[in-house]
Amino acid sequence: MITELKDPFNHEYWMKEAFREAEKALQKDEVPVGAVIVKDNRIIARGHNMVEQLKDPTAHAEMIAITAACETLSEKRLENCILYVTLEPCPMCAGAMLQARLNSCVYGTADPKAGACDSLYHLCEDPRLNHRIRVISGVREEACRALLQAYFKQKR
């Protein structure tokens, strides 16, 4: 009997990499959000929140990763790329994802206060826009949520 091997490169695998980035943010006393961008089963960019460190409100994990991916590919478009991020993207990040023409966004936990993919808005799949991004939610949701909750509990 032949046993089919499971593909080790699945959403869980890549979200673990994004989670490692979130842990880097936590070590820097940043809101622990991490992101990776994958193309052809390899990470082409990584990012984690650096808002406090850079004193820049746009330095979200997704923005850092998008900029790095564009630099890696020497392209302004990230077609056939997937963004993995531990927290549902905000409107700014969802807008950048659309401008970059990402193929998909996979996120860990929802953001009921600022989420622009499912929670408050559905920017990535809005038919009025000229590009759509497939959204997959809830990958490693409990771990991603727990990390954020622990951070904010410690801050209070």
Q: Phi and psi for 86 in degrees, rounded to 5? A: -75, -20
Known active-site residue 71:
no
d(CA 35, CA 86): 7
d(CA 44, CA 46): 7
d(CA 14, CA 10): 7
Please tell me which residue in 23, 62, 75, 141 is annotated as part of the active site. Answer: 62
Residue found under tokens 């089919």:
4
Contact 59, 96 (CB under 8 A): no
- Token pair of 30 as six digits: 């940043």
- Burial class of residue 127 (count of CB atoms within 10 Å of its CB; 0-12, 13-18, 19+): exposed
Residues tagged active-site: 62
